[in-house]
Structure 1
């Protein structure tokens, strides 16, 4: 029966080729991962489908890189081998699931015959259970497609990629070795995947719009607060239209950095409770109506749950529904609602908000040469360029960037919710590759020396793939974010000092491929920011900077969040 069904296929195509052509169709151009004996034959199909194989140093880094690639490109693909490979990537995939990042995780698995017979194979637990690893991944994937049946494979592939895109979360595709070259109907590829969001039921949507407009038009001093899920669930077009046409003072949460054009006259800065930019906390918390779009109210995103916003004054917009005060409207996606609210809102009562700048605070202007957190992050805002991709590591950089006002069209990448130390260096590799493919000229990474030690090998992958990001390693002698929470001078928050500038050469980088710098004073930073070769987006070399800061210096927002974290950690159960 199986052979007869295969013979009936008019335009046969191998399953691996079908899978990779679908990935190419949705915008993937590079695949991250590592080779392993259960995925080697599948890898042979990449060149013929127009996909570039990145080849990372380990699977964890590859997962981080796929995350960064997806945040710039819109979707990414990761290819690992069964057991040992996929488990190494689990931390990165969990972070992507947590933060709504779409990654198609393809796992090369043993043959269906081996699985059926429970064979004692390498990379297994030795108990004949071949499902245990996919079961682990089922908790951090929005769809599972195990391609164990040739005649279901094409449908399962299409469903997984569609779910990945629409739900903006990782999916898992298991590709057994004996299925790689089995045939499916290639004519399916003539019909592109439908990646459009299902429209809201019109009557329900119109009702919600009317409810929103009633409160918006009655408000005396409304504000807009934009967060991460507006980015992840592809609502930025509607958000931008609302912000620009309404003129309502608009703020972003830390995870929403980059979601709003920060050069707009009604952009007011970052709201994060007690960690907010100057003047923001007072303006947001005194508002009688907050249009909250895509909120993720996690501890670090709210500076230790120091938000003071009443639900009675809030309208929440999400991918899964709208909540007006305490009334919930599930199944009414925010995109259509925001678009109609913008078109019908009419004249509103608006009170101006604060005007953030990149002015350096007076206390930070002191003539001392030391580079301080309070001085550096506003100064960075004066140096950034329109269209930059900026990646900040969990640590001082993640909190310091709150004080940087961006030029237009900056893509900001951070992992505020999952917060896996070492994420940013791997992410930078993927983001820089996606940026290169899209013609974006500058990708800039800020990571701590402690964090960098976890994933430093990806500098090697950047050199191998001829990428030219600008990398700042903040040299402050260890885990400053952990010091702020507990153990200021504890040995476990210290690290072995590396010869940081020597690492690119150790990874095989030549002077034609890498430029290195060390800056330890404000004057040296100024000189670096004025160096035309360093600044240029057309410079072909990767630029690697040792940025020296004091071990006990931290941004104000980090201190607030760390103090709150320390208190929670010390709480006694009732």
Structure 2
């Protein structure tokens, strides 16, 4: 007996769940009720209801970093616009977050009625262009076009590794789709980009011509290597050839930093000692994915790759000198690269990053030089370290991660408040890993209400809140003495209990000894932990004016 076709809302959620996604992040809303209900109907997916839409978008961002994609659902207008900043961040960091939005019914729209969540002008297309701009592909769905359009948006979002956006009228969401439903496959079985054999062969030959005479080759793998599932191919290439690699701050953690070929951080003049010269004096630099020489990612544009043969192996192209090869998948190029690359035997004298030396007497106040080395020593294999945007972005990118430790940050988009909700998504994306967040108090105040959501869903992060009472990063980038840099004086360590996280370890530490005791307790603690680390406001020191102007280019050139 033939089965009835699924409703439009159920079909969209089911088709996205086919990718291997088991969580749907979001906030319910009236125009999205059929979508909200569909999440409860589709087997294998569970709701994760965030404190607000922006937090939900950040959580979806975190989940997508581990699972390869994510689902986010919010309501029309107020919901999707609240989430927009987080979705734009996912676009910047090339994460396929699928945003499913319910809008007022076609009956309301065709009747010209004015309803809530609008501008009161009877126009219902005001927000589609805005949300579409945050996506790599978008569609207004109907039962008639659903089968074709859902496949198009999924395929294009995965090809670009960017968000996809679906808009569904509330009355049509409950109607059955027209056409044969597609049963999808998990992300692990999909190929986002397929290579043209002729272009791939020619690209590898051109790469071989450049690599053959080289005596020093350095790889700069970017986060796109991870987005396109090419980390295994990269690891195999490094093992077969002995090529060294460094990472920029934006790309930290995509490979194990205990790897013998790891040089350290390449970030212009802020690089790990010796790394800038080693990279920029190489015969060939293999840019894997497309290095973004953004200000924070290049120490105010102080990186210089012009002296090298800078070869770009992008997601779907290869650039060798003036030659550009198209329709070449990153995974395929990396898989074939060892066959055209010399093998670099032995261990040449090259930079090696070192662990940070711990400092501070037991009764001393906690300073940056006493906190970060202890954090580094605390980390254990398979931990995932999350760096909030802010002052910790100055310290964590250059820190050598112990064996097996991953890393996540919002370096490019740079939204403060991203870290706390992202922890929720990361923890749900892989429950077997301990997620460790370092956040400043200013960023944390933006999204701290997501702590209650973590308690509700039983995730067990370790959160360090660095409390110095100010927007420290603003002081670093400007100067001291501004009232707008001062924060409301929260009692942070009381927040988990107030938000229902009753079984969390929560405490305040003010001295080096108290920090040591808390870390010792964490190493045997099997639950969530929240440590308020009180540090002096004086730890945020303005940059020299010349450095500041090099970042913002405000002074008249002399």
What TM-score do the two structures reach when normalised by structure 1?
Answer: 0.90
SS at match of 1:188: coil
Q: CA deviation at 1:463?
A: 0.8
Which of 457, 472, 476 aligns to 1:465? It is: 457
The answer to whether the aligner puts 1:131 opposite 2:125 as a matched pair is yes
Q: Is the 8 A contact 2:468 2:534 kept in 1?
A: yes
Q: 2:514 aligns to what?
A: 524
* Aligned partner of 2:433 among 425, 429, 441: 441
Task: Sort the Cα spacing of 1:13 and 1:573 in 2 relative to 1 into closer, same or farther, 3 A.
Answer: farther
Offset from partner CA, 1:187-212 (integer Å, 9 cap, x none) = 53445487313422112111111111
1:296-324 per-position Cα deviation (integer Å, ceiling 9, x unaligned): 22111111111022164211111131222
- Contact residue 362 and residue 512 of structure 2 kept, 8 A: no
Give unmatched runs, 5+ long, in structure 1.
1-7
Counterparts of 2:535 and 2:500, CA distance in 1: 28
Cα displacement (A) at 1:474: 0.7
Aligned mate of 1:552, from 529, 534, 538: 538
State the 1:110 CA deviation.
0.8
The alpha-carbon distance between structure 1 residues 48 and 523, as it changes in their structure 2 partners (threshold 3 A), is same
**How far apart are residue 185 of structure 1 and its match?**
5.9
Matched, 1:563 2:547: yes
- 1:471 Cα offset (Å): 0.7
Moved more, 262-271 or 336-345: 336-345
Structure-1 separation of matches of 2:14 and 2:514: 49
Q: For 1:57 and 1:467, how far apart are their aligned partners in 2?
A: 15
Aligned partners of 2:327 and 2:82: how far apart in 1?
36
Matched, 1:539 2:526: yes
| Structure 2 runs not aligned, ≥5 long | none
Q: Which residue of 2 aligns with 1:107?
A: 101
Residues of 2 paired with 1:564 and 1:237: CA distance? Answer: 40
Preserved CA contact (<8 Å) 2:253 2:407? yes
| Cα separation, 1, equivalents of 2:408 and 2:51 | 22
SS in 2 for 1:355: coil
The alignment status of 1:86 with 2:86, answered yes or no, reads no
> What residue number does 1:309 align with?
305
- Deviations, residues 76-124 of structure 1 (Å, cap 9, x unaligned): 1111000111111111111111111110001111112222333211111
| 3-state DSSP of counterpart to 2:11 | helix
Distance 1:446 1:311, change over 3 A: same
Distance 1:217 1:464 in 2: 57
SS at match of 1:208: helix
Q: CA deviation at 1:560?
A: 8.6
- Deviation, 1:567, is 4.6
Contact 1:266-1:353 at 8 Å conserved across structures? no
CA distance in 1, matches of 2:425, 2:370: 29
Matching residue of 1:71: 65
Question: Are the counterparts in 2 of residues 61 and 426 from structure 1 also a CA contact under 8 Å?
Answer: yes
Q: Over residues 390-433 of structure 1, what are the superposed CA-to-partner deviations in whole Å (9 max), with x where a residue is unaligned?
A: 11111122231123222344331111111011111111111112
Counterpart among 323, 339, 345 of residue 341 in structure 2: 345
Which residue among 153, 157, 161 is the counterpart of 1:164?
157
CA contact (8 A) 1:9 1:185 kept: no
Alignment partners' CA distance in 2, 1:550 and 1:565: 26
Tell me how far apart the structure 2 counterparts of residues 565 and 237 of structure 1 sit (CA, whole Å).
41
CA shift for structure 1 position 263: 1.2
- Between stretches 238-247 and 411-420, larger displacement belongs to 238-247
Match of 2:353 in 1: 356
Q: Residues 231-286 of structure 1: CA distance to partner in whole angstroms, max 9, x if unpaired?
A: 22322122211222221221111111111121111111111011111221222222
| 1:196 paired residue number | 191
**Structure 1 partner of 2:45:** 51
2-side partners of 1:319 and 1:277: how far apart?
27
Instruction: From the superposition, tell whether residues 10 and 203 of structure 1 become closer, same or farther in structure 2 (CA, over 3 Å).
Output: same
Q: Which residue of 2 aligns with 1:3?
A: none
- Structure 2 distance, partners of 1:522, 1:403, is 22
Q: Aligned partners of 1:321 and 1:170: how far apart in 2?
A: 21
> Displacement, 1:35?
1.1
Cα 1:311–1:160 change in 2 (3 A) is farther
2:382 matched to 1:387?
yes
Query: Offset at 1:366?
Result: 7.4
Q: Give a deviation string over 1:154-206, Cα, whole Å, max 9, x none.
A: 22122222322332111110111112221126853445487313422112111
Q: Structure 1 pair 135/502, CA: closer, same or farther in 2 (3 Å)?
A: same
User: Is the Cα contact below 8 Å between 1:397 and 1:448 reproduced in 2?
Assistant: yes
**Which residue in 2 is equivalent to 1:5?**
none
Aligned residue runs from structure 1 range 79-478, under 5 A: 79-147=73-141, 149-184=142-177, 188-190=181-183, 192=185, 195-294=190-289, 295-310=291-306, 312-348=308-344, 351-360=348-357, 364=359, 369-436=364-431, 440-478=432-470
Shift of 1:18: 1.3
Of 205-214 and 352-361, more deviation after overlay is shown by 352-361
8 Å CA contact 2:144, 2:178 repeated in 1:
no
**Structure 1 residues 44 and 126, CA, compared in 2 at 3 Å: closer, same or farther?**
same
Q: Is the 8 A contact 2:510 2:535 kept in 1?
A: yes
The answer as to whether partners of 1:300 and 1:561 remain within 8 angstroms in 2 is no
Against the structure 1 CA distance between its residues 146 and 561, is the aligned structure 2 distance closer, same or farther, given a 3 Å change threshold? farther
Structure 1 residues 314 and 554: alpha-carbon distance in aligned structure 2, compared to 1, 3 A threshold:
farther
- Count of paired positions: 553
Q: Check the 8 A contact 1:15/1:154 in 2, yes or no.
A: no
Comparing 113-122 and 298-307, the one that deviates more: 113-122
